[in-house]
Structure 1
Amino acid sequence: MPWAAIGRVQTELGTRCTGFLLSPILVETAAHGRVQRFIIPPGYKAGSANTAGLDRATLVLKNPIAPPETTLRAPTTAMTVHAGTPVMLGGYEQNQPDTLTADQHCTITGMQQDQAGHFLLAHTCTGTHGSSGAPLLYATPQGWQAIGIQTLAARNGAGGLATLLNTSTIFSK
């Protein structure tokens, strides 16, 4: 763990992104990928800067694909993060689509809002095209938590934005 919970999501059109298990039958990923059956937040519009903070989808699988101990937890109560909070990002990126790559030494830099006011976590993790849907991981004494979902990677180098898994997350300066 946590790498056993992360997998590649592929559409019927051959495009790929990253997803991760929240339970044996629930996969969390970015909403801008196409799937057969999914749950997305009300108001999300693909490709719109207004709703980037809602760019997440839950895929409900017909059958379990992993045991419960290989799934990630999401925060169930409000948590506070600050600049410098250590996090990790691991996913299946375009430059190595068959290999899980990870940045294990990055941090939260702040909180931003999309044009409609939805919050996103800003971070220093390196991630290219294909890392969308990857979990932004935070270590707790109880194990790894996915606190966000990679949505936007920086075009020139490290950094990106992640939607919040728990919208009660607070950024403290």
Structure 2
Amino acid sequence: MRVNKAEKLRRQVHELAESMGNLFVETFHYLALFAIGAVTAWAAVMEFLQMVEKGNISIDDILLLFIYLELGAMVGIYFKTNHMPVRFLIYVAITALTRLLISNVSHHNPPDMGVVYLTGAILLLAFAILVVRYASSQFPSVKIENPHRKTGAGSGEHPEVEKGEL
């Protein structure tokens, strides 16, 4: 009889510790997301104000604003879904490389092999997006129903579940 009480107490302590741990982790998670979102928005506003103060805006500046927009979108998506789409990181990398390419060609030395390397890297990242998109459509992270198979009560399948994306 005492063993049952001890086991029950052990389970209660375990559940309490697990709940407290989840609370602390989720609290840190949301605080960090708010901080990242706020810093991203602040940096974008400061950059925009510098552009206005300068009096002219270049393509580099516009691409930098797109990078901030993509970072903000990543934070928003992660906040809503608790998943980080890998594609967004690749989009940021492509935009950053494009900005670097335009900056190097328009402001610095004449084109050299660096242009080839940068365009190759952009092509490689675009191919990576293609692979990720194909993989997420062919191998979704959430199991989907076969449309040719009947589902009914007790089948264990959920027809309302849609394809997941990486």
Q: TM-score, structure 2 length as denominator?
A: 0.22
Which one has the largest radius of gyration? Answer: 2
Which structure carries more relative contact order (alpha carbon 8 Å, separation 6+)?
1
Structure ranking higher in strand proportion: 1
Q: TM-score, structure 1 length as denominator?
A: 0.21
Structure ranking higher in helix proportion: 2
